[in-house]
Structure 1
């Protein structure tokens, strides 16, 4: 029987960092800035700061764990060492669901910009994008990486443009104006956390990265730091130009800021940039989802057929087909804010488990080599993961009840699937 082909190790620090910036940058600032402004007003920049703190705390946990276990299975692999295979399966399931939901969210953001430009209906446009991205992923990791690098340059240019447009308007609004008070700022923080979702997807590229135990943590922290600074500056710039009321009513917030500042021609240019940004982010989420399915299947936690690698393209084609179909299915929900919040809830649960895993392994496996190690500890207890857990719990409480219900249902499905997996194993 011919041997199973392996994934290709083709990514260095530059490619990993670009992938991180690409997956983070287009998600929230292009698609959700308007919705966030409706909750937090001109103080929307505070929402990005609050979410950034939580992302940074958990980012350190991912950096330590990815240096210990450089595997495409990522969260599933980490949690299995600390809490056992059953809980690890649930966390792996949630990782897959969150990435698929995130791809759907950003695809709807893409379709919103395309609709404003061309009048094309939102759902068909989002569906067409998802299918095209699935084909690109099938072609290969190097092709995907090259598209990511080009699109990241373009979308970063859009962010820089918005910063420049906002400079003449700085100081024209009250940046502490929050029509719904701190409650609105916290709700916006919970929503715009989606803007940072994706940095954890880098760890799923471990089996396609050279020297992953060092490259992945470095790329993760670099990409997170770059996007945190850009998000805060851009949110200040946007409300300076148009104010929170106009921003909150916009289907294409970036483009409307540009139109207000320089007219229709720039509106078109920024809309095209936003199309690249949202495309790039959706691509990276589908990439992350397919890799964790591949990793779990290779580890025996999912059916072996899902670990199939195409012999010529060296890509996990079965997993790619599955996540493409699932992301297209979630388009039927239609509400971008609802799907974004559902993504956030699943991510909060995952981040709680990841932060707890760092703490548990400090006691359970203290001798294991950690090329990247979190500082600020009391004895064996690292403090940043504790802060990450508390932030997750706090932001989860800001999510609307309907979204919480959907998140709990998806979690329950994962738990029941875990039980079924154990039953199948017992019968073999």
Structure 2
């Protein structure tokens, strides 16, 4: 039960929920993640993409089952709390909020880098302020804007795929699959690409604002994931066909470099604009998810209670949204957070590990536990396959959260 006066309005249907998920997945990641993944995996890029998709599918199915059972804001924070206990719910929420806040700042800086490289920080802050205002006006307006952004990004990506596949430089031989960087390279590429797939969590974290969640969420999550996988696969094949794994791995702007190599330089500005729009879409959906998890944790006393307030008119967690907006704006103005993407991936994988462990408890039937077990093992494997620095920083930040939880529990016991 949620406290009276803190319930959110249910306004999102299946189509809106799918669009919110796509706005997170088919975002800046498709414009930037292929390069680092190709550098890690070499000719094993496509197997890495397939592996990331398999782990994402397991996580999506576990999340869908849990979201239908617990249609409340907070996603795995709620599932872990209800199925495994308060600590595991808190740990999932902490991993999500901290990791995705860094992702928000990275997306904002991506907007700045594409729109006005010389003033990237100023543009990033402006983007955060503008999208926080959109979120403040209500989730329905956010879903409408996300729909427009997704349409634009898909159009740009479709143009890239057609131009690359139809060009003279495209060669099927560049798609040869191998393990030039070994199994470790494929696993690391899968971990990096999983970061771009993880947007379907936004559907679950908006569970309290979805109509008929028991029906809507299980349909929306696999639909969004499936569409994103098709888009990623088409783009990866098209870009690989033009650049090859080695050139792709060293490309600063992979899709822009691909259309230039395809002898269509006039499309480069369009691709850059599409990347900026995609980053805005990711930022919009990310701030929605982080603010809802912050709201849920505040409502349960793990964060300051003032953040659990719901706006009387717009029926949104306005203080949580403003708090997230302020933190992201400060990071975007003062810190280069691109190096935090690896940590964010570690946090996201930790978050989904808790989701799979929670889903494992839903049914004792062995067949029902296959997917959660595969998802849990996949999350653990990809998390520790990330670069050592990312693993160390991620584990350290999670440890800080655990320590804070322990101190708070100790204070409460001794304060009674």
What TM-score do you get using the length of structure 1 for normalisation? 0.89
Give the corresponding residue for 2:153.
155
1:401 matched to 2:403? The reply is no
CA distance in 2 between counterparts of 1:87 and 1:182 reads 31
CA offsets per residue over residues 31-72 of structure 1, 9 Å max, x none?
Answer: 222222222234322211110000001111001100100010
CA distance in 1 between counterparts of 2:47 and 2:314 reads 45
My pick for the range that moved more, 193-202 or 172-181, is 172-181
CA distance in 1 between counterparts of 2:263 and 2:318 reads 45
Give the corresponding residue for 1:347.
348
**1:21 CA drift (Å):** 1.1
My pick for the range that moved more, 242-251 or 149-158, is 242-251
Give the corresponding residue for 2:47.
46
**1:315-326, aligned counterparts within 5 Å?**
315-326=316-327
Residues 79 and 295 (structure 1 numbering): CA distance in 2 closer, same or farther, change over 3 Å?
A: same
CA distance in 1 between counterparts of 2:227 and 2:156 reads 15
**1:256-405, aligned counterparts within 5 Å?**
256-331=257-332, 332-334=334-336, 336=338, 338-363=339-364, 377-378=365-366, 382-405=369-392
CA distance in 1 between counterparts of 2:362 and 2:408 reads 25
CA distance in 2 between counterparts of 1:44 and 1:197 reads 18
Give the corresponding residue for 1:254.
255
SS in 1 for 2:302: coil
My pick for the range that moved more, 166-175 or 51-60, is 166-175
**1:5 CA drift (Å):** 6.1
CA offsets per residue over residues 275-305 of structure 1, 9 Å max, x none?
Answer: 1111101110111000011122223333220
My pick for the range that moved more, 135-144 or 218-227, is 135-144
Count of equivalent residues:
408
SS in 2 for 1:8: coil
SS in 2 for 1:362: coil
1:419 matched to 2:406? The reply is yes
2:79–2:358 Cα contact (<8 Å) kept: yes
**1:158 CA drift (Å):** 1.7
What TM-score do you get using the length of structure 2 for normalisation? 0.92
Please, which runs of 5 or more residues in structure 1 have no aligned partner?
Answer: 364-376
CA distance in 1 between counterparts of 2:129 and 2:180 reads 40
CA distance in 1 between counterparts of 2:192 and 2:144 reads 30
CA distance in 2 between counterparts of 1:40 and 1:122 reads 30
Give the corresponding residue for 2:120.
122
**1:159-178, aligned counterparts within 5 Å?**
159-168=157-166, 169-176=170-177
